[in-house]
Structure formats: C-alpha cells, structure tokens
Amino acid sequence: MFKTALVLAALLSLTAMVEAADAAGAAAPGQPAPSLNSAANPDGAFAPGAAGETPGANPPGVGRGRGGRGAMRVAPPPRPNPLPPFYDPKLPLQKRVDDLVGRLSLEEKVSLMGMDSAAIPRLGIASYRWWNEALHGVANGTATVFPNPTGLAAAWDVNLHHQMAAAIGQEGRARHAAQGSGLDFWAPNINLLRDPRWGRAQETYGEDPYLSGRLAVAFVTGMQGDDPFYFQAISTPKHFAVHSGPEPERHRINMVVTDQDLYTTYLPQFEAAVREGHCFSIMSAYSALNGIPDSGNKRLLTDILRDQWGFKGYVVSDVDAVADIYRSLAQLLPVQRCYRFCVGDPRGERPL
C-alpha cells in the first residue's frame, strides 16, 4: 500500500494536466499552469490518485494558524516539456501511476511522505500541505460555521448531517480554487466520549458507537461527493483507534482494552466509515493500543483496516505521532527491535 499513499501524495499536488493545456488560455509546456478548479474547469476534482490535481500549499512552517494550517497558494513549478505520460487523463489510471512512480527517485518518494509534501519541480509537482480541518465547517478563514459535532449529534438527523458535510466539501473546493488550500480534511472525529473531562469532547458525536457510525457515514459521503471517479474532497475520520483522552497524555499513553471492548465499542464507527462511507483516508492516533503505538500498529493498520475491512486509501498519522515513536524508541532500542515493536517478529513471535 506504500504505492497508494505515494501516488496520492504526488498526484494530489500536481499543477498541470493535458486537459488544462487544451483549455482556452492554458499555459504551454514549460510554463506555470492555471488552477484546474476555475470556472472553465468545474469538474477538476481529484480522483484516487488520478485527475484534478491541486496547486500547492505553502512550504513547511508557512501559513496561518498553528502548524501552518490554512496555507495559501504558492506559484506552481512549470510543467515539464515534453509532458510525461502520467499527465495524460486518457491513459488508464494504473499506467499513469506506474509512470509517475517510475520517475521518482528514492529521495523524492521520501520527501512526499510527510505532512508537508515537497515540490518536485522537474515533474511539475507543487508542494502540498495535508493539514486541513473541517469538523463543523472549513477552518482558518471565511466559511460557514455549523454547530459543533456534539450539538449536531443531538439533532439525530443523518440526512441533515449529510447535507452539512456536502456543503463543507463544496466550501473547501471554493477555498481551494481561491487560495490553493488543501482538498483533504482531517474530519470527522469519531472517537467516543468516555470521560467528560477530555478536552476535545465537543469534537465527538458522543458516547454511542452506533450513532457515531451513522453520522460518520453521512459526513464522509457528503464531503467526498457521489461522483463515481472524482472526489469533491477527501474525508479523514480520526483518531484510529481507542483515543478518548486524557489529552495531556495522548503522546505517551497506552490504552489497554479487551478484544470484546475493542470490537464492540471502539471500532464499529470506524468500520462503518470504511465499509459504508468508503472514506479514502484514516488518521491514526498518538496513543498506543495494548503496548503497540497506533501509528505503527500492524494489527490496527493492516490486519483490521485493510485485510478485514478492505480499506483502499491512505493513512495519515496525527501530527507528530511518527516522530513520537522515533524519539521514544530509536534512541533506546536497536533498529531491529524497533521494527519488531511495531510489526512483530517475522518468525511469528509476539511483538515486544
């Protein structure tokens, strides 16, 4: 699945396509490309690693809000001349994917895997900022502000929730067209409210897995749209999994739960978002589950998410979760033991 995430990171941030070159007033190869989401191209939404690629956001550390959220448009790099085959929307998706991946060096692949994907100027790929928020409206700028998620859940209205999420997706597209901000949103928060002292309780739909699951499906399908190929935007349900505070300890806490509690309490809403909502992104949590960090947890991210539920998209970690693992383990354990900590021993032994 590395290729899937890699291709999403690259193709999501492409700044030119053959379709744009054919449009009236489009730039020629070797010149900066216009936005694909202008009135002349209203169908420029992106697909799973396919078309409608978005202009870049700011470089790392630049933008508004904590961590550079709400980054603004920067000038895209010029398109290569001649255009590589992966720019051609008439080619089958897999051929475009294979062509793009085959052109990237190892260093370039690595540079695309962070929260701030670097520009690849030689291929016309702009930088891209993945951190965008939209729990109850597009954050950081002018947008409609809907009630907070706890209030939305109190309405018990799945259809209304779907309409709201569709409006958020549309406003996110408008923000992108005007400012070049991102088209993936880290929402909804479908963790359960197990303790009212949790500092982010208002972000959740409450304590019931079933209600949270119904609203999760409504939100994901509303935001992502109903086009069979193009996304309106990408929804990222979070935080997978067993993440319900306490907030000050989230970077180091180990959540110990039984399989019964895991499958009946903490996972149903995520399963619904994947199986029924077809979300194309999931965010892993900072915390650990039964001793294994969530962002490196093979059971959660591979065995359950992909093998059991059939998830086809990409996983993002919460902002510093991977760095937390590195800081906590890499300086204390040899590399081989760090690997075993996350994925288990290849000989079949249990993880440390």
Q: Please indicate whether residue 53 or residue 247 has the higher confidence score (pLDDT).
A: 247
Active site residue 227: no
Using a pLDDT cut of 70, give the percent of the chain over it: 72
Q: In this predicted model, what pLDDT tens digit does every residue of 102-161 receive, in sequence order?
A: 999 999 999 998 889 999 999 999 999 999 999 999 998 899 999 999 999 999 999 999
The one catalytic residue in 318, 320, 324, 345 is 318
What residues have CB less than 8 Å from 54, skipping those under 6 apart? 12, 13, 14, 15, 36, 37, 46, 126, 128, 176, 180, 182, 183
Using pLDDT thresholds of 50, 70 and 90, give the confidence band for residue 22.
Answer: very low
Beta-ladder partners of 252: none
pLDDT of residue 58 exceeding 70: no
| Model confidence pLDDT, tens digit, residues 285-319 | 999 999 999 999 999 999 999 999 999 999 999 99
**Comparing 16 with 238, which gets the higher pLDDT?**
238
**For the segment 247-264, what is each residue's pLDDT rounded down to a tens digit?**
888 888 899 999 999 999
Local structure of 110: helix, strand or coil: helix
Q: Which of 135-139, 225-229, 277-281, 301-305 shows the lowest per-residue confidence on average (mean pLDDT)?
A: 225-229
Q: Residues 267, 300: contact at Cβ < 8 Å?
A: no
pTM: 0.78
For each of the domains in the chain, give its residue range(s) and CATH number, in order of start.
2-128 (no CATH), 149-343 (3.20.20.300)
Average pLDDT, the chain: 79
